Amino acid sequence: MSLPTLREIETAATIIRPWCPPTPQYAWPLLAARAGSEVWVKHENQTPIGAFKLRGGLYYLHRLRASGRRCNGLISATRGNHGQSLALAGRAFGVPVHIVVPHGNSVEKNAAMRALGANLLEIGDDYEDARLGAEALAVERGLEMVSSFNLTLVCGVATYALEFFRHCPPLERVYVGIGLGSGASGLIAARDALGLNTEIVGVVAEGAPCYALSFAAGAPVATAQALTIADGLACRSPSPAALEILNTGLARIVQVSETQIKAAMRAYYTDTHNLAEGAGAAALAALLLESGTRPGGRVGVVLSGGNVDAAVFADVLHEA
């Protein structure tokens, strides 16, 4: 599968900039002391929706308009950040957006998607149920189904990685959470386009290990459930297209526990005063997990996802 070229990523960056300016990357001394490494954080929690997903949604809608293709509206499934991305982009480009979430989804993410203009529907008990429901509604209502993973989204998402690599000193490795795979694929695309040797480490939750299992097997492996506080990583069936990229571009995939994810959420708050949802903190959790065996050096972590419900975050802080 052909990844976006440097020119394509740079073009996407120019296109999305009016709605999504470049986000910062900072080296935090307290995180460095905690990890035993020089730690650079890419703050995708500072986009208008608190996640890198916005970049992909904006580029997707731009490409849709540029193609001249008729579209009655878009539909997709999400646990929140992908849905916010499409909702904001749909509003910017004048395209109706319908978003399917599972029952029991984040109350505050649901409110954010509605506020951005999405028509929100609840189907099923998890992301996979919501995805199947969205696919059925796309056929029934004549809507364009937008998967959480496709190469157009990856090209837009890769703009965050281009910023990260260009504005940081050389990084030995970067940790990134894997939901359906666009964030990690964007990092791989930017790294390869720039000709860098940076090691990229994917991160999943122990309660949602399908990508780790698939990476080890070299083929898609689904799981019966995906239960984790990191709802953005709660996938139980990997994308074959994403897996093709990850299998060749990642050094490894690390699994982190719920305890480790929550500890990383607290570490972000105490060490940087940034909010991180579970999916946003997973990369830091993996860095801290490996700090004993891979100390020192200069490493990067991607903080994408600052959309944690207040009640959930209060419980995480209370556990300290």
* Residue from 180, 86, 184 nearest 128 by CA: 180
| Shared fold status for 6-51+151-318 and 53-145 | yes
Q: What is the pLDDT of residues 21-69, one digit of tens each?
A: 999 999 999 999 999 999 999 999 999 999 999 999 999 999 999 999 8
Task: Looking at the structure, give the CATH architecture of the domain made up of residues 53-145.
Answer: 3-Layer(aba) Sandwich (3.40)
pTM for the whole structure: 0.96
86-132: pLDDT as tens digits:
999 999 999 999 999 999 999 999 999 999 999 999 999 999 999 99
Burial 102-130 (b: 16+ CB within 10 A, else e): beebbebbbebbeebebebeebbebbbeb
Give the residue extent of every domain in the chain. 6-51+151-318, 53-145
User: Do 34 and 268 form a contact (C-beta atoms < 8 A)?
Assistant: no
Gyration radius of the chain's alpha carbons: 18
Q: What is the CATH number of domain 6-51+151-318?
A: 3.40.50.1100
Which residues have C-beta within 8 Å of that of residue 210, sequence separation ≥ 6? Answer: 204, 220, 221, 222, 223, 226, 235, 236, 237, 238
